[in-house]
Chains A and B, each alone.
Chain A
Amino acid sequence: MERVFTFGQDKDLVGIATEVDEAVANDTLPAVIMLNAGLLHRVGPFRLHVELARRLAVQGVRSFRFDLSGIGDSQKHKDTRAYEEQIIGDIQAAMDFFTSKYGVKKFILFGLCTGAANAHKGAVIDPRVVGAIFLDGYAYRTPAFLMRRYGARLFSLSGWFNRIKRLISPSGDGVDDGPGQDDYFWVLPPKQQTEAELRELVERKVNLLYVYSGGHEDYNYAGQFKDMFSAVNFNDQLQVNYFPESDHTYILRKDKEKLIETISGWMAQAYARELNRD
């Protein structure tokens, strides 16, 4: 069963709650708040959010997919707050609303791409967040990443030739679009900041699921997360999956089902106590 709500201070945000059967409803189980992937409205890329919400509901997990201000059906706020401040405000408004409606007081933030960046920020700022699912979230290049990406070219004359040709091509703008200048939709925070924030989340007992696809510009091998954040002790609160065959938005059904299965499995494991409570 799904219900639509308008919420927020001016009722200008639109969200859809996926409810669960009364028989399995459990207020101690956190609800999943789904954030927009880029500018796509709340149904998610290729309807990913809708399908995930319905799968989680079968498991007994409630969710709320909503549009941030100015995206999809939600109106732009008419105040002077910085956009990032508005985003955090919207995420918190979604949690406030869900608590008032369903009594749930703990949440898991879910997001892909910019949604993952927003989920990270929301998790850091709000203690009600007890879990986070980041699809193609923050990543930092490691020596092994660079070796995999450019190693072959270091020893390949044609690789260098193509690179030089790109730089001097009269049809180009003369600007190298190589490493360090990729086109991001977010500003990647300094690694030390992310490390410190992750330590805080671990300390707060937040469960973390990171899923990286083959479409992430800065992630290209299975052990990269461990290398990136070797200075952080995640205890048993971390799961990382790397699906190199998948694209960034999970366009193929097979890949999307594998992703949904992974998230569902993680939920079952990370929240086993709450899910198995009679």
Chain B
Amino acid sequence: MNPFFFGASNKQLFGIYHPPRSRDLRDTSVVLCYPFGQEYMRSFKMFNRLADLLAKAGFHVLRFDYYGTGDSSGSSEEWRLTQSCEDVSMAVEELKSLSGNTRVSLVGLRLGAVIASSIESLNIEELVLWDPVVSGRDYIASQKSMHQQMLADPDRFSVPRQGEGENELLGFSFSEEMCSEIEALDLKKDFLAKAKRVFIVGSDAKDEYQALYDCLQSADVEYRVIDDAGNWDALSELESALLLSTLLQDIVMMLSEGAK
């Protein structure tokens, strides 16, 4: 596991490269696309584990923080979906250079799945959309609802803080501009990725995943529900680490099926 910074000197991105830990080297590398905000914090350890499992299966893997998130440069206020798409493209080039592989697959969780789906310029092998945010409007509505519940939560605040926390949602900056950018998203219409195979993986059976699957029928697409709770809309889980096992193994299998 090699941590490093990459990208332009004024926009340094923090990444961790996991070289393959198997003699059976795969000809495809994998870039992992984190979700945003508290969902990133919740899933961090699991991404570490997924990267490790993929490396053990012979893949070169890169996981990294988008500009304005995690250890990457930029303030939280500067994070934008469009910038994150550029960051993924840069990460793909970085991993190609590190691995020598030209074939790349992407795995994105929640908004990370949206980001991975929005890049038209890349040719992707497998694209795994894990609990994807299908409707940006529903996502922001859910975040706003949880934020309001959080402000009134007596287990968090001794005196309720309703009316506070403008331009932020659940501990992270969400300016009106950022909210508008996300609210405008509809993955059923905005799916631009050129992937040979798409997997929609739900940790819960949701109508919106089925609807996305129906919309992507022209592509080679598969929809699987793997019962491993994500609980993305539950305030009680806001600061709980996500610990999944079955789902991670399944993602490794999906990527292994397509790679030599």
Binding site for B on A (CB under 8 A): 2-4, 6, 14, 16, 39-43, 45-47, 50-51, 72-73, 75, 214-215, 244-245, 247-249, 251-254
Contact = CB atoms under 8 A, between A and B. Distances in A.
Nearest to B241: A39
B14 A253 contact: no
B71 A16 contact: yes
B164 A4 contact: no
Interface stretch (B1-9, B110-118, B247-255): B1-9
B196 interface: no
Given A245-B159, A252-B161, 7 more contacts: A2-B73, A4-B5, A4-B71, A50-B70, A247-B156, A253-B168, A254-B164
B6 to A, nearest CB: 11
Interface stretch (B37-45, B125-133, B134-142, B222-230): B37-45
Given A2-B12, A6-B3, A253-B168, A43 B70 contact: yes
Contacts, number: 75
B89 interface: no
Nearest to A39: B241
Contacts of A2: 5, 12, 71, 73
Nearest to A41: B44
Contact of A251 (B4, B12, B76, B171): B171
Contacts of B172: 46-47
Question: Which of the listed residues B16, B41, B159 has the most CB atoms from chain A within 10 Å of its own CB?
Answer: B41
A252 B3 contact: no
Given A2-B5, A252-B164, A46 B171 contact: yes
B44 A247 contact: no
B157 to A, nearest CB: 6
Question: Which of the listed residues A4, A50, A75, A251 has the most CB atoms from chain B within 10 Å of its own CB?
Answer: A251
A252 B45 CA distance: 24
Contact of B158 (A4, A6, A47, A214): A214
A43 B71 contact: yes
Interface string B60-96: 0000000001110101100000000000000000000
A246 B159 CA distance: 9
B170 interface: yes
B179 interface: no
A215 B156 contact: yes
Nearest to A251: B171
Q: What size tier do the contact residues of chain B reach?
A: 20 to 34
Contact of B71 (A50, A245, A253, A254): A50
B256 interface: no
Nearest to A248: B156
Contacts of A39: 45, 241
A152 to B, nearest CB: 13
Contacts of B173: 253
A244 B41 CA distance: 25
Nearest to A42: B71
A244 B4 CA distance: 39
A50 B76 CA distance: 10
B33 to A, nearest CB: 17
B150 interface: yes
A16 B65 CA distance: 14
10 contacts: A2-B73, A4-B3, A41-B44, A51-B75, A51-B76, A72-B45, A73-B1, A245-B157, A251-B156, A253-B165
B48 interface: yes
A124 B79 CA distance: 40
B161 to A, nearest CB: 7
A41 B44 CA distance: 8
A39 B70 CA distance: 15
B52 to A, nearest CB: 10
Nearest to B12: A2
A251 B164 contact: no
Contacts of B159: 214, 244-245
Nearest to B167: A253
B257 interface: no
A73 B157 contact: no
A43 B159 CA distance: 28
B239 interface: yes
Contacts of B156: 215, 247-248, 251
